[in-house]
Amino acid sequence: MDNIYYPREAVITDIKEETPTIKTFRFELNEPLAFKAGQFMQLTVPGIGEAPFTPSSHPGKVGEMEITILRAGRVTDVLHNEVKVGDKLGLRGPFGKGYPLDKFKDREVLIVGGGVGLAPLRSLIYALFDHIEDFSKVSICYGAKTPEDQCFTDEYNKWKGMPKTTLNLTIDKPHPDWKGTVGLIPCLLEEEKLDVDIKKSYAVSCGPEIMLKFVTFKLLEVGFKPEQIYLSMNRRMSCGLGKCGRCNIGPYYLCKDGPDMCYADIKDYPNVFG
Ligand SMILES: Cc1cc2nc3c(=O)[nH]c(=O)nc-3n(C[C@H](O)[C@H](O)[C@H](O)COP(=O)(O)OP(=O)(O)OC[C@H]3O[C@@H](n4cnc5c(N)ncnc54)[C@H](O)[C@@H]3O)c2cc1C
Ligand code: FES
């Protein structure tokens, strides 16, 4: 596919309801498409519009792709309410750099997700699991509003069963069906709960901007340095190519230089957390 503005055909083969507001769409691609965990796609719904999403699927599967989508507005409403298995949509990309997996080698990786933010991180989790021998440890922390707002619940036992891997979950408020941790995501990062060797770790976080802000402050408080923190800056984007100027933080275009940015690179610019 030479023309980056031209979407390739993607046929929906499965739609899975993760939560009342989040669905995972599986696409079959008419030609192989390689992407790195963390890179994003522009998804076109013909006649409606285009929106950016980071695949949630295994980056090694080049003939199909999964994208996990929160219902948020015009394009995502149509995806949730009208699109069905067999429909043909369009995909442009991949865009952005993806997570710096080489940097994470021989280190512990602390993954912190909130809500639908676990979707891009799921692709990273699969990439780490593929070469788990290269990493010292994978600690996954995930928070959702309620138990029924948690994504990918049917995979948690498999994740917990992986070598060198832990999974810690929290929900925002007490709930009759929940016996685990209650509190906003930073509560999982309290020093006494965090079983990681901070000096040898990288932290990667994806979720709503307000969550990224408080997760970052907590990570700094417990001893992470800005150089050890990567944030998925999923701001509104348009071209995805560093041309329209819609997505910049200081000199960086999040679509081209990110969307996963090292906090050390962006922390001194005024609009980091919106
Ligand atoms: C690189 C990148 C990766 C993303 N990955 C995912 C993903 O994996 N899953 C997922 O569900 N969403 C993801 N998003 C967010 C997704 O792109 C938006 O939810 C989507 O564009 C909304 O489109 P819409 O037409 O349905 O909503 P619109 O009608 O355009 O907007 C509805 C409301 O959402 C707000 N909004 C729209 N886009 C964003 C945004 N990016 N950030 C904050 N507020 C926004 C608008 O201001 C408005 O209030 C990602 C965004 C980026 C930039
Ligand atoms: S989306 Fe156009 S410059 Fe980033």
pLDDT in tens, 215-257: 999 999 999 999 999 999 988 788 888 888 888 899 999 999 9
Gap from CA of 54 to ligand 1 centroid (Å): 11
Q: Is residue 255 part of a domain?
A: no
Q: Is residue 47 part of a domain?
A: yes
- Ligand that lies nearest to the alpha carbon of residue 74, given by its number in the listed order: 1
Indicate whether residue 188 lines ligand 2 (CB < 6 A): no
Instruction: Please tell me whether residues 128 and 227 are part of one structural domain.
Output: yes
Specify the number of domains making up the chain.
Answer: 2
Instruction: Please tell me whether residues 50 and 123 are part of one structural domain.
Output: no
Residue nearest to atom 47 of ligand 1 (CA): 236
Q: Please report the pLDDT score of residue 255 as a whole number.
A: 92
Instruction: Please tell me whether residues 131 and 60 are part of one structural domain.
Output: no
- Ligand that lies nearest to the alpha carbon of residue 98, given by its number in the listed order: 1
- What pLDDT digit, counting tens, does each position of 174-212 carry? 999 899 999 999 999 998 888 899 999 999 999 999 999
Residue pair 271/249 in contact by the 8 Å Cβ criterion: yes
Instruction: Please tell me whether residues 118 and 224 are part of one structural domain.
Output: yes
Gap from CA of 77 to ligand 2 centroid (Å): 23
Q: Is residue 140 part of a domain?
A: yes
Q: What atom in ligand 2 is closest to the CA of residue 255?
A: 4
Instruction: Please tell me whether residues 202 and 224 are part of one structural domain.
Output: yes
143 CB neighbour count, 10 Å cutoff: 27
Catalogue the E-assigned strands of 104-232: 108-114, 137-144, 165-171, 181-182, 201-206, 229-232
Q: Is residue 252 part of a domain?
A: no
In this prediction the pTM is 0.95
Pick from 49, 75, 95: which residue ends a domain?
A: 95
Instruction: Please tell me whether residues 162 and 46 are part of one structural domain.
Output: no
- SS3 readout for 57-104: CCCCCCCEEEEEEECCCHHHHHHHHCCCCCCEEEEEEEECCCCCHHHH
Instruction: Please tell me whether residues 71 and 117 are part of one structural domain.
Output: no
Q: Please report the pLDDT score of residue 31 as a whole number.
A: 87
Instruction: Please tell me whether residues 75 and 114 are part of one structural domain.
Output: no
Query: Which domain range does residue 14 map to?
Result: 8-95
Q: Is residue 154 part of a domain?
A: yes
Instruction: Please tell me whether residues 30 and 117 are part of one structural domain.
Output: no
- Domain containing 34 — which CATH number? 2.40.30.10
Residue 1 has pLDDT above 60, yes or no: no
Instruction: Please tell me whether residues 42 and 106 are part of one structural domain.
Output: no
Q: What atom in ligand 2 is closest to the CA of residue 239?
A: 2
Instruction: Please tell me whether residues 145 and 216 are part of one structural domain.
Output: yes
62 or 188: which leads in pLDDT: 188
Indicate whether residue 99 lines ligand 2 (CB < 6 A): no
Mutation to probe ligand 1, out of 53, 121, 124 (largest number of atoms < 8 A from CB)? 53
- Ligand that lies nearest to the alpha carbon of residue 243, given by its number in the listed order: 2
- What pLDDT digit, counting tens, does each position of 124-177 carry? 999 999 999 999 999 999 999 999 999 999 999 999 999 999 999 999 999 998
Instruction: Please tell me whether residues 42 and 141 are part of one structural domain.
Output: no
